[in-house]
Amino acid sequence: MSLMSFGFECGNGWYKLIYKLCADIREYYLTQYEGVGYEGETYYHEIPPHFSVEQVKEKWGALCFYISAAPEFVHELIRKAELKSYTICEHCGKELQWGIQSDGAYRSFYRDELPWILTLCDECLKVHLAERGLPFKPYISDWQYEVCAPYQIFKGGKNEENN
Ligand SMILES: [Zn+2]
């Protein structure tokens, strides 16, 4: 069952990222896809009717894009967009720089000490905290520092998780 009746359950800052992902998926189907459906019917350079986007939302500070069954190529496009969402402010769409700073501290925009985990730029974080009466502080949580999250996720451009 598609949950798309809920709309996109994430901030407007990821609009361009999601739009591009949808365009890339469409482009793949229309120019490269050749497949066989559940009843043995064949598809050539078209979007098969069994393909659907089930849910688009924010979870643990990242984009989650759920689809029905699809070729590996489509899943790879989605994985890349989901990783990229860690570097885009979910509120305003600003592209963020992550990495080790001159003082040696790791800096990301993954905010895991809020009541709700979010990926925000400094400006949007200040607004977000002010609206909730919370003090601004230079950002890095103990947990994030210990596991280098999400730094390791981006190491080498592929998902290496925290181990
Ligand atoms: Zn922002």
Give distance in angstroms: CA of 39 to centre of ligand 1: 47
Q: Write the DSSP string, the chain.
A: ---GGG-EES-GGGHHHHHHHHHHHHHHHHHT-EEE-TTS-EEESS--TT--EEEEEEETTEEEEEESS--HHHHHHHHHHHHHGGGB-TTT--B---EE-TTS-EE-SEE-SSSS-EE--HHHHHHHHHHTTPPP-----HHHHHHTTTHHHHGGGS-----
Q: Quick one: average pLDDT of 145-161? A: 46
Instruction: Please indicate, yes or no, whether residues 19 and 78 belong to a single structural domain of this protein.
Output: yes
Structural domains in the chain (count): 2
Banded model confidence at residue 3, pLDDT cuts 50, 70, 90: low
User: Is the model's pTM score more than 0.95?
Assistant: no
Instruction: Please indicate, yes or no, whether residues 74 and 104 belong to a single structural domain of this protein.
Output: no
pLDDT attached to residue 161 = 44
Q: Which residues are within 5 Å of ligand 1 (an ion), measured at CB?
A: 89, 91-92, 94, 121, 124
pLDDT attached to residue 29 = 96
Instruction: Please indicate, yes or no, whether residues 8 and 64 belong to a single structural domain of this protein.
Output: yes
Give distance in angstroms: CA of 65 to centre of ligand 1: 21
pLDDT attached to residue 141 = 62
User: pLDDT tens digits, residue range 84-108?
Assistant: 998 899 999 998 876 655 555 555 6
Instruction: Please indicate, yes or no, whether residues 10 and 82 belong to a single structural domain of this protein.
Output: yes
Instruction: Please indicate, yes or no, whether residues 72 and 144 belong to a single structural domain of this protein.
Output: no
Instruction: Please indicate, yes or no, whether residues 83 and 131 belong to a single structural domain of this protein.
Output: no
Residue percentage of the chain with pLDDT more than 90 = 40
pLDDT attached to residue 19 = 94
- Could you tell me how far CA 27 lies from the centroid of its own chain? 20
Instruction: Please indicate, yes or no, whether residues 127 and 60 belong to a single structural domain of this protein.
Output: no
Final residue before a domain boundary, out of 87, 107, 141: 87
Give the domain extent around 67: 4-87
Considering the domain boundaries, does residue 94 fall inside one? no
Considering the domain boundaries, does residue 60 fall inside one? yes
Give distance in angstroms: CA of 50 to centre of ligand 1: 36
Considering the domain boundaries, does residue 111 fall inside one? yes
Considering the domain boundaries, does residue 163 fall inside one? no
The residue whose two tokens read 């089930």 is 54
Give distance in angstroms: CA of 116 to centre of ligand 1: 16
Give distance in angstroms: CA of 141 to centre of ligand 1: 19
